[in-house]
Amino acid sequence: MYILDIETRPDRNLVGLFNEGIKPDSRLKDPVKIAESIKEKQEESIKAMSTDIDYSEIVCIGIKEFEKDPVTMTLQEYADWLEERQAGLGEKEWKTPAESSKNKVQKMITFNGKAFDIPIIVNCGIKQGINLPYAMLLEACDKYRAVNHLDLMEKLGRVYGKQKSLDAYMRIYLGIKKETLGDEFFRNATDEELKKHCLEDLVYTEELYKKFLPLFV
* Residue-wise pLDDT tens digits, 38-58: 777 777 777 788 889 999 999
Amino acid at 109: I
**Taking CA 180 as the corner, what is the angle to CA 174 and CA 184, rounded to the nearest 5 degrees?**
155
The radius of gyration computed from the CA coordinates of the chain, to the nearest angstrom, equals 19
The structure's pTM equals 0.82
Round the average pLDDT of the chain to a whole number and report it.
84
* Residue-wise pLDDT tens digits, 64-77: 999 899 999 999 99
Instruction: Please tell me the total count of domains within the chain.
Output: 1
Check whether 63 has a pLDDT greater than 90. yes
Contact residues for 197 (Cβ-Cβ < 8 A; gap 6+): 7, 181, 189
Q: What CATH number should be reported for the domain holding residue 21?
A: 3.30.420
Check whether 96 has a pLDDT greater than 50. no
Which pLDDT value is given to residue 67? 87
* Residue-wise pLDDT tens digits, 131-181: 999 999 999 998 888 888 999 998 888 655 566 889 889 999 999 987 766
Check whether 98 has a pLDDT greater than 50. no
Q: What percent of the chain has pLDDT above 90? A: 48
Q: Which residues of 46-65 are buried (b: 16+ CB within 10 A; e: fewer)?
A: beebbebeebbbbbbbbbbe
Question: Sorting pLDDT into bands at 50, 70 and 90, what band is 91?
Answer: very low
- Enclosing domain of residue 43: 2-216
Which pLDDT value is given to residue 97? 44
The C-alpha atoms of residue 64 and residue 201 are separated, in whole angstroms, by 10
Question: Sorting pLDDT into bands at 50, 70 and 90, what band is 189?
Answer: confident
Longest Cα–Cα distance of the chain, Å, equals 69
Amino acid at 157: G
Phi, psi for residue 162 in degrees, rounded to 5: -85, 80
Contact 149, 114 (CB under 8 A): yes
Virtual torsion, Cα 129, 154, 186, 51, nearest 10 deg: 40
Check whether 95 has a pLDDT greater than 60. no
Contact 59, 189 (CB under 8 A): no
**Mean pLDDT of the region 6-31:** 82
